Structure formats: C-alpha cells, structure tokens
Amino acid sequence: MNKEWMVADSMGNNHQISFRKGAFGGAKCIVDGDTYKMKSKNWVIWMADHQISIPGAECNLVVIGNKVRLAVNGTYLEDGTPYEPIRNIPVYINVLTLLNLIIGYFMLGLLGAVVAVLVDLLTYKMSLSKKGNVALILQIALMVVLIVGGLAIQSALGNI
C-alpha cells in the first residue's frame, strides 16, 4: 500500500510525503527522499502516528489498519476533520480478544473462532473511537456466550 502527498511549507516550497507498507508488515515514511521507519503501537492491529516537521507546517501521518491519513497543521487533508492523536488500545482489550479467540476455537471450533474475530474487530473499532467501556462489556459478554454456548452444545452432543 502506497500513498503520496504534496505539502507546501511557509515559504511556498513543496515537500513530498510518502507512506509505503512492506509485504511483511514493515512500514516507512519518506519525506523528500529521507526514509523513516515506522513502528506499530499495537501488536494486534497496525497503528502508528508519525510526526513530521516541515518549516511552517506540522504534519502527522496516521495509520490505523489499512487506513492512511495525513494531517497538516491539525487538519486531515482528505476530509478537513480535526486531527486527534490515536489512542492506545488498553492491554486488557488485547488480552480479552486473544482469550476469546482461544475459548471460541476450543468450545465451538472454527465457527467460534470466526465469531470471536468478528466481534474482536468491532471491539477494536469501539476502543479506538473512545468507547472503551462498551468494548470491555462486549468482550465479557462474548466470553460468557462462548463458554455457555460451548458447554450447551457439548452437553447436548454428549446426551445423544
């Protein structure tokens, strides 16, 4: 995935800012030919917020999953919305999503793992949009449903 922008500084000089994501998860930001490695802030979903200093312009290259956006002087270029630093996803959300994936797989097989992954994606979206409490409740409810549903199915199959 590659994206490029042209940003003018306070003296009217254009600067080229590029984002390149490698095949094996590595990413880099290229500013006027200078390359900077970017690191994800999360081990589950790719998240980065890279600050770029250009004379007269403060830029932030924000990457969440496959969505890449550039903010110049506090405003995103694509839609004009105000820039907000990305939030870190709490560690307990990461632990619960991994735990639910494991529980889902062992209790309900592939179907349980798929349901857990889909709910995990929704959880990360909620967590990034400042709805951490709802994300936590969703993960706990998923865990209860997976355990109770798995036990119910196992007991129903055991009585046959």
**What digits encode the pLDDT tens for the residues 86-141?**
877 888 888 899 999 999 898 888 998 999 999 988 888 888 877 878 888 888 99
List pLDDT tens digits, range 28-57: 888 888 888 988 887 778 888 999 888 888
Structure tokens at 105: 């797989």
Q: 153, exposed or middle or buried, with CB in 10 Å at 0-12, 13-18, 19+?
A: middle
Containing H/E element for 136?
Answer: helix 132-158
| First and final C-alpha spacing in the chain | 52
List pLDDT tens digits, range 60-76: 999 888 889 999 988 89
Q: Tell whether the model's pLDDT for residue 160 goes beyond 60.
A: no
The helix-helix angle for 132-158 and 91-128 (nearest 10°) equals: 110
The pTM (predicted TM-score) of the whole model is: 0.70
* Domains of the chain, each with CATH number or no CATH: 2-76 (2.40.128), 91-158 (no CATH)
For residues 141 and 126, is the Cβ–Cβ distance under 8 A? no
